[in-house]
Amino acid sequence: MSILGNLIWLVFGGLLAGLGYILGGLLLCLSIVGIPFGLQSIKLGVATFAPFGKEVVEGEHANSPLRVIFNIIWLVFFGWEIAVAHLVSALVLAITIIGIPFAKQHVKLVPLALFPFGRDLR
C-alpha cells in the first residue's frame, strides 16, 4: 500500500515539492554559511519524495546545543513558512475522503519542517 501511496503522492505534487526543497537547498549551499541549512533542505526534499510508510525519528544527539541553535535559526528563517505550507496543503486535502491519507502525510512532515536538525524520516 505504501508503494501505491508514494506513487500517487509523486504524481499529484510530491515530486514538485521535493524538487522545490532540493532546488532551495542547492541555492542555500552556494554560501558557506548556508551549507548546513541547504543540506537539511535537500534532506527534506528526499524525504518528501516518499513519505508513506515512514515516520519521523529523532537522532542520538538531536538536542545537542549546536543542533538546537541551528533549529532555532531554521525555524525563524525557513521552518515556519514550510510548516504553514504543509498545514494548508493538509487542510485542503482533508476536505475529501480520498485526500485524507495525503493530508496525514503533510501533517507528518510538519515536525521535520520545523526542526530538521537531528531528525529524519525513516
pLDDT tens string 9-25:
999 889 999 999 999 99
What does the pLDDT read at residue 122?
A: 87
Helices (H) and strands (E) in the chain, counts: 6, 2
Amino acid in position 70: F
Q: How many domains does the chain have?
A: 1
Give the pTM. 0.90
Name residues of the chain where pLDDT drops below 70: none
Domain of residue 80 covers 2-121
Q: How far is CA 31 from the centre of its chain?
A: 22
DSSP secondary-structure letter at 59?
A: -
